[in-house]
Structures are given as structure tokens and as C-alpha cells.
Amino acid sequence: MAVFQHPEFDHHESVSYFHDERSGLRALIAVHNTNLGKGLGGCRMWPYASEDEALTDVLRLSRGMTYKAALAGLPQGGGKSVIIGDPRKDKTPELMRAMGRAVDRLNGSYVVAEDSGTNVADIRLMAEVTRHVGGLADERAQAEGRTGDPSPATALGVFIGIQAAVRYRFQRDDLRGLRVAVQGLGNVGYRLCKHLHEAGAQLWVTDLYAPAVERCVQEFGAKPVAMDQIMALDVDVFAPCALGAILDDASIPQLRARIVAGAANNQLARPQHDRALMERGILYAPDYCINAGGIIDIFYEGPGYDWATVEAHLRRIGTTLTAIFERSKAEGRPTGAIADRMAEERFRR
């Protein structure tokens, strides 16, 4: 599909294709907007069924990073990269270095970090051939046991966001007995479950990877659920923490949760599904607001890193979400549309 005619193209500044014959790299990098700063965003590795599917993902994800950084109050723009391949089978050190060289060709307009299918070790391999990387702890931080992995900050930010949504919807400050269904138990989903369990919530969990489910069952007393049943559970909160585009015409009517608040990017299949949630009385925490913890952590990573400063910034996620909820009620408009407007007021000035 042509880029400029693509339905997800949104005045992106650049969309680049990269191929390396020796390593087998096939990758795309999209830079959406750099008005506030360099286009920061993770590198996702996924076995996309087609090049068009990869293009759709990188366009959506890079746009989301612009809005995420702006709403989080960071001097960063939005970008994203995707590698076509199975991270469990196709990933090699040479592939990661080839990806680093691809990033380097953009001369700093894009800064790469980890994402689904990649990790800190992969970004370190990229850093051997480019300085345009984010989310790597310096030597002092490594000596303290920190790697630069943004997952803990992302999970804590989502937890703070759920607290804000529960406070707004149910007028309660504690999560004891709260029923939460978590879809996706990767680095972020697992840590979110830990926070929720420690706060006294009841958990229902699902993941394609059976050992991840069993881990949450054993550690948190979670109840395992089939992938195709998780969205229809009678719970208070549905927390999508896997891939995006899961809220659509077919799935939204199944939802029985009063709140949708999770770590996944691009949860809405189409913009109109924002209103569909509102019309069903479901409070939606816009994904790029609630899951901004990772980009916040990456921004502060490096010399002088201070967790207290990061955590204070993470707490602002709850404040921002509350402002979105209140403005949504006052204007009678969906929360996602309100979040978009607030972000655009910042990065389009």
C-alpha cells in the first residue's frame, strides 16, 4: 500500500524502509513529529503477516509516541521502528547491529529504545554502531543493579492510572477486592499484576505463553482464563497489556468491565471506538497517557538518574488522566478525543 494514501498516515515526517541481505533484516522506521524534540520510540520485532501489516503498525505506533511524549510533558517527538521477524527464532546479534546501522542513517531524527520483541541487550548491540539509542543505564547505574529496562516504570505508571480511574469511576481510594482482568503477561503485564496483587485486587489473567499465566497463578493467586474469554468477564477493570487494536465493533459489545485501563498501545481499532466505549458507559484511560511510564523513564536515564524524580513524574499520569476524565464529562466528548486535543495543544504550538 502506498504510504501517503495509507489510512494511518498522519503527516509523518519520514517513513524509511531498510534491508540488510547478510543479516536478513527487513525493517521500517517512521518519524511522526519532531516539533518538541527528537522522535523517540521503541523497536518492535514481530512476525508480521505482510509488509502492509508492518507499515500499519509503525505508522500507528509512531503517531502514538508523539502524543504520548506531549501529554507526558516531555521535550520529545514521536518515532517508532519495526522489524519483520519472529524474535524467538530470527533474532541474532548481527540483525540487531544491522538495525542499529539503519537507525544511524537517520542522523538522530529517531532515537531507538526497546519494545515488544526486543530488550536492553538488543539495544546495547545497536549502540555498538549508533549513538542514537535510549533507555540504557550508565556504568554507575549498572553497578547499582539497574539495566535501563523501562518496564518497571511503565507498569507503575499503569497502576497509578488504574488508581486514578477507580477513584473517578467508583469514588474509592483503595483497590482491595477490585476485580481486574489482565490481557498479556509480558514484562509490563506481569509487573502490573504484582502491583495490583499487593494492593489487594483480584486477578484474572491470560497470555499466549502458558508459563507466564502459570507464574501469575502461582505468585498472585490469579485465575487463568482463555484468550477469547478475557474481555467478556464480569470485572471492574479490563487491562489490555498485549498488542493493540483489540477494541473494535466485535469486542466492545462483549465488555462488562466499567473501566478499560492497560499498557497496550493503540487499543482502539479505529478512532470511532472511543465514542463507542463512552456510549456504553465504559471509562477509557487513553493508552498513550496511561502507558507513558516507559518513555518518562527513558527520558531521565543516564548520568544523574534519580528514581524519586522519575516516580514524581509518573504520579502526574494520574493527575493528567483525572483532568481528561473531568474534561470529557464537562464537554460530553470521549476521553480519547480529549487526550488528543490536549496533546495537540502542546506539540502543534
Asked if 91 is an active-site residue, the reply is no
* Candidate list 80, 89, 91, 329, residue with the active-site label: 80
Q: Are 65 and 12 in contact (CB under 8 A)?
A: no
Contact 225, 206 (CB under 8 A): yes
Rounded CA Rg of the chain = 19
b (16+ CB within 10 A) / e for 195-212: bbbebebbbbbbbeeeeb
**Which residues have CB under 8 Å from 298's CB, separation 6+?**
40, 113, 134, 135, 148, 150
Residues 6+ apart with CB under 8 A from 264: 183, 184, 240, 241, 242, 243, 244, 246, 287, 291
- Distance between CA 284 and CA 299 in Å, rounded? 26
3-state class (DSSP) for residue 260: strand
**Cα–Cα distance for residue pair 73/86, rounded to 1 Å:** 34
Active site residues: 80
